[in-house]
A and B are shown apart, each in its own frame.
Chain A
């Protein structure tokens, strides 16, 4: 498992498109609101500044890395490496876990560069080095759960449909399930099931610009939106990870069914 994780991570990190995609999205986010970022860099409220930056990152960047992770599992058979790997005594479950953790780790590297890069610049311009600590917390409770959630589906779903179709559906899902306001239509937006991570961002990191987590009056699926507290924030992280594990379990079942 460790061997697979190591090499899968190395291969993903060598993917130039991963760096380009992230860079393009970040560039767009910056260019679309240059003056806003100027204000943010002088805002003395380190906690809220980090939190709202992470909110934006986690709303936009998963579209990129989710699409990029989509070929990682299926490409073993497409490239013809699968028979070599499958003929080794290494456990298939361990290899799947290694692939998952390795590719997710690689996808998380550019996110770390972006978040900690921002936090570092901000600590200087606003004179608030504590931003680095908030960034570390946000990375752990908001960014990583999203990577693990998205990564699990990006590995699994292309087993049952072509990867390009998955990418299209995924982008659609992402903005439906994390972007659209629950007042407009039934959606998982602002719920504990939303990998954008509003619960943990609001309750653990301290997003204060706007309140997103918690019940939305008149919306459907409000049973997925309990009162926002630190406990429900952790619950949300747990739910996301559990759903991810479930998806991987499905991947493992599908693979043993098709290869044998």
Chain B
């Protein structure tokens, strides 16, 4: 399923443009969405999920017109959505909550619903806690319930907004692996601040800044943005002042800094191979 977005603009009342004439094509498979806080990622996802009406522009999801009422409903039939600020009903158990959402998603057959909810509780490793009230769940456990509800109706379009925020490393890796396994014939749109999650799961990605598209391409393309701009330097003196310091590690002779910038931060700095995060930072510097 392909998503075609063109001229998409969203103006919140009394605020600037959250999305500004955005054109973007998201192909089938797993697609990453990066961007600073307030770049417009959540706004875009809420529009795709049919929760928000765009001010201008069009959205096509497969053969459906995502800006018309009938099209939105058709999209919601095949949609799994994990909101960024997700909440649950504290007075239901995880199993009940999932059962309720499954009903709203139209899984009417009771046996099928039970089976599906059981499977997904297993997937998110909550089977043991499934019959406890959600009130007592930790933040990460709630997010796992959120992940489970997004997968309930076997969605062909999966929109996940910072799904791994608050997960422990083991769960985070398990979940991102699950997402890329699911991708296959589906479209999975993943927004995140954890660049590594994109590096490990997506082939293609887009970067938003102030509601505009500033990059679209493969992970390799973005990494190459930092070609010749990554340096490491070991110094006992003050930290480098040019470029962006991406890491600072204690070293026998002081500190070892990794820096992304136009020019070497010191005469004895040595070039280093860039990774996706460097590419992302280099892009931000150029902008």
Contact = CB atoms under 8 A, between A and B. Distances in A.
B77 A84 contact: no
Contacts of B146: 84
A218 interface: no
A231 interface: no
Given A87-B50, A88-B104, A80 B73 contact: no
Contacts of B91: 11, 14-15
The dominant DSSP class at the A interface is helix
A81 interface: yes
B165 to A, nearest CB: 13
A37 interface: no
Contact of A79 (B76, B87, B105, B149): B87
A7 B46 contact: no
A77 B100 CA distance: 17
Interface residues of B, number: 29
Contacts of A79: 87-90
Contacts of A84: 81, 83, 86-87, 101, 146, 149
Interface residues of A, number: 22
B255 interface: no
Interface string B22-47: 00000000000000000000000010
A80 B103 contact: no
Interface in A50-88: 78-81, 83-88
A33 interface: no
A80 B100 contact: no
Nearest to B82: A84
Contact of B104 (A15, A78, A90, A259): A90
B173 interface: no
Contact of A87 (B76, B87, B92, B100): B76
A3 interface: yes
A217 interface: no
A7 B76 CA distance: 22
Interface string B100-111: 110111100000
A81 B88 contact: yes
Contact of B105 (A80, A86, A88, A95): A88
Contacts of A14: 91
Interface string A1-37: 0011001001100110000000000000000000000
Interface string A210-242: 000000000000000000000000000000000
Interface string A236-260: 0000000000000000000000011
A80 B88 CA distance: 7
B62 to A, nearest CB: 15
A28 B93 CA distance: 35
Contact of B87 (A3, A7, A81, A86): A81
B271 to A, nearest CB: 45
Contacts of B198: none
B151 interface: no
Contacts of A89: 73, 76-77, 104-106
B53 interface: yes
A87 B79 contact: yes
Highest count of chain B CB atoms <10 Å: which of A7, A11, A85, A95:
A7
A218 B257 CA distance: 89
B86 A11 contact: no
A15 B89 CA distance: 12
B252 interface: no
Interface string A80-108: 11011111111000010000000000000
Contact of B103 (A3, A83, A86): A3
A83 B77 contact: no
B65 interface: no
Interface of A: 3-4, 7, 10-11, 14-15, 78-81, 83-90, 95, 259-260
12 contacts: A3-B100, A4-B104, A7-B92, A78-B87, A83-B49, A83-B81, A83-B83, A87-B76, A88-B76, A89-B104, A89-B105, A90-B106
